Amino acid sequence: MFAKILIANRGEIACRVIRSARRMGVRSVAVYSDADAHALHVEMADEAVHIGASPASESYLRGDRIIAAALATGAEAIHPGYGFLSENPDFVDQVVAARLIFIGPSAASIRAMGLKDAAKRLMEKAGVPVVPGYHGEAQEIVLLASKAREIGYPVLIKARAGGGGKGMRRVEHPDDFSEALSGARREAKAAFGDDRVLVEKYVDKPRHIEVQIFGDSFGNVVHLYERDCSAQRRHQKVIEETPAPGMTPALRKAMTEAAVKAAKAIHYSGAGTIEFIVDASQGLKADRFWFMEMNTRLQVEHPVTEMVTGIDLVEWQLRVASGEKLPKTQSEIALSGHAFEARIYGEDAARGFLPATGTLHHLKFPQPAPEGATMRIETGVRAGDAISPFYDPMIAKLIVHGKDRRAALTALGEALSQTEIAGSTVNTGFLAALAADAAFAAGDVDTGLISRHQQALTAVAPPSGETIAAAALAASGARDLPSSDDPWLSLAGYAHFHAVVRRMLLKFGEQEIVARVSVRPDRRFEVALEAPYDSVNSHDLRTAPRLARWPGHVTVFEGAIGYDFAVPDPLARADEAAASGSLRAPMPGLVKLVRAAKGEAVIKGQPLLILEAMKMEHTIAAPHDGLIAEIAAEGAQVTDGTVLVRFAEEPQLTAVSLSTK
């Protein structure tokens, strides 16, 4: 076994690898960028090495610096985690050339599966079913459009490199093919440096079911059952589970056998995942699944497999990479219970799942686990850490395990309702709504479920009078009064002729709320809300609501939803420099494409520019008719709130019309 390994990653996966390594007596070396100088994974590791500036291209994607750090610290092997360089065969070659061990598959195996088109041709030869489509080398638009017509609409354009839904477009009609292809190519080029695509038949009711496989250098390959990853938004996974709901013995046998066959075809060693697309329009059938792609690394959702098998996949990675055989045979790997993983992100679900940044002023996960369940939290952040615009905005993965799907789903809902995060917009409310959705609860899941139910799943009820009263009470500072039997407390609300009233101004979004808070001698507080609420709430000092106070804000938690109220400083002056008639960036990003010009008259809904954030493209459209006075330049790097478009003689805009492709 290794004495020391370097982890070429960050965040929750780096922390996850460090924990297993520590349990096995293996020392760990972390690497970090400027943005991660004080990150949790740096604190947890035995050693840490700075490798560059905040952008990933200047740090976590610098294989030369990572290898130099491994050599300088005496690490014997490099664990890539997932993302960044984890599926880069050139990096694997460089690691091997430096006489280090790559904790993962060979460069040859990664190359064999790294390009979707070549991988599908290989799988066809191995007898693994593949989705009908065009997987050839030619990339002329005329040829691709012709192939799309042959396949039959709707079709799916997919980047042949990478994953995560980047460079992917569903096309319903031939007239839309050209624009969709251009968008897919731009996004693929930005994300993977390769703009080549393939075109496939779009399955009407697709299920995304994948099989975890594991191989060693002795030719042994086993599967660790399947995971269902059909709950997706923008082709990216949201909640994963195992076993797949509705899975039949016949389909499981066919899929796992195909997965093992695929791994053996490329002499695979290490952890990997074979992803299949399943047509669920007529139920799960053994002849209605097709190979989609292989991820030649550990998956983000691997903890659900660990929960139902009791196997530490990171431990297996270290053992296999150090030259050991697989610790168990296929007959020794059992499936027990049901597990879910929910990905908690800094994102605004109500605004098309836009990435959100911010400081996590309050971060509290449920403890202990819901009754009858086991739970684990995988995170790379602590309270006070910031969600950086440079990397994926994942905050944590919440994983629960129960005796069956119903018990596990109940535990997931309870755990989400007890999670408290303030300082950034997060998706916990959306996740809880999805877990409670009737179709999801029944196991009637496909990759289109979220988009069909998106309005209901992302809708947030306005705060109740009780919630507003709790925020006003917290903002007033009244709850700072002592809660013990202090004899002076009886005088807290005393005034000679009338009770002391404190007038509070709160802002919920753009709405201003006025509340009057008074302290009564009986240790209760009275909060009266002005119109349109016109309600009075009395609160006992000893029955505090779930809330968090942070600079200039109060967040009140109701279930999985955090209602954020701004508390304006009454002495603060309005920003006199605020631009009038301006359209601002809703998030940090890169102006990828400008579709309008200065002096041009535009109409409501007209696309003005494309903003790239987190390697995804977002189309920003005109919120109303107007004349453009100024517009951002292509290639401009902007921050949240940067003026993108300024309209001539128009009132200031407070909202951005935005759609995500």
CB 387 within 8 A of CB 357: yes
Return d(Cα 314, Cα 9) in angstroms, integer: 14
Return d(Cα 321, Cα 127) in angstroms, integer: 28
Return d(Cα 469, Cα 528) in angstroms, integer: 8
| Active-site residue identified among 297, 319, 584, 646 | 297
Return d(Cα 56, Cα 79) in angstroms, integer: 17
CA triplet 160, 162, 165: central angle to 5 degrees?
95
Cα 616 to the chain's mean position, in Å? 13
The widest CA-to-CA distance across the chain, in whole angstroms, is 91
Return d(Cα 289, Cα 279) in angstroms, integer: 6
Return d(Cα 215, Cα 221) in angstroms, integer: 4
What are the beta bridge partners of residue 134?
A: 199
297 counts as catalytic: yes
CA triplet 396, 401, 405: central angle to 5 degrees?
115
Return d(Cα 295, Cα 222) in angstroms, integer: 16
CB 416 within 8 A of CB 436: no
Rounded to the nearest 10°, the torsion over CA 471, 476, 479, 480 is: 140
Return d(Cα 229, Cα 208) in angstroms, integer: 5
Return d(Cα 337, Cα 408) in angstroms, integer: 8
Return d(Cα 474, Cα 484) in angstroms, integer: 18
Q: Which residues are known catalytic residues?
A: 297
